[in-house]
Amino acid sequence: MVYSYEEYEEYIHEDYKELIEEKMSRGEAIARTFNEYDMLAKKSETDKALFCTIISEISLSHEKIPYTFKNYMEQSLIELDFKVIKQENSLTSEQYIDLINRKDYVLQELKKKPLDYFPRACWYYDELVEEVQRFINNFKLENENTDSIVTTVLQRFDRDCDNTKSEKFIVYTTLAENLYNHGLTGVDSIEDVKHVLKSFSIEDVSDEQLTEDEQENLADRIKSVLSNLK
């Protein structure tokens, strides 16, 4: 066993949170964390059990789970041999029982999670709206001069705007709504924001990560904010 019971818990959660702090979506952060520990998890059956259980627990906090990831984790958890884990003698009796209970729980809960069939790690709709809103709120609290709000927000989310068209339009829409709601319609680069939103077509995002309801909601938001910004 590479790490102790407590160390696995601490290190995996710590690395995942650091990736979130590096401005990654939860989906990208869990994928990076998975890759970081995947080889270590092959060291022993105990390592594998801890890794699969902890990673699955984190994924349960996400809005959706990629279907390939869910299938892999379910199969890995089902195939765990707890007789071997007991023989490896790396866990106390309490830890052994706790791990079995945690494994059973995540297997049960994974079956309930909505699935994501989009092949790329990206932000989900509500997740990204909340993140953009949080960033804008912090910016306004920290800056008396808001003229640079557009460029600052777009710099923060530049990777995401390049990832999928859905993410780009979510960022621009949430930004435009905030500019209107806070009376910032005269700030620098607002015309660039409007220009991007005017180019939107629902077909642009129809084959990406958004559901049909989310696509329609985004289209309605763009139509509304453009009308308000005239």
pTM score, whole prediction: 0.89
Would you list the domain boundaries of the chain? 5-116, 125-229
Quickly count: other Cβ atoms within 10 Å of residue 12's Cβ: 22
pLDDT digits (tens, 9 = 90+) for 116-157: 998 888 999 999 999 999 999 999 989 988 999 999 999 999
How many residues does the structure list for the chain? Answer: 230
Per-residue pLDDT, 123: 95
pLDDT of residue 41: 86
The Cα–Cα gap between 226 and 108 comes to 45
Q: What is the pLDDT, as a whole number, of residue 174? A: 98
Q: Write down the pLDDT at residue 213.
A: 96
Q: What is the pLDDT of residue 40?
A: 85
Q: What is the CA radius of gyration of the chain?
A: 22
User: In the block, which residue shows the tokens 């066993």?
Assistant: 1
C-beta separation of 132 from 161 below 8 A: no
Please tell me the predicted confidence (pLDDT) of residue 230. 81
Rounded to 10 degrees, what is the CA torsion of 99, 100, 104, 106? Answer: 10
Residue 142: burial class (beta carbons within 10 Å; 0-12, 13-18, 19+) = exposed
pLDDT, residue 209, reads 93
pLDDT < 70 positions in the chain: none
* pLDDT for position 136: 96
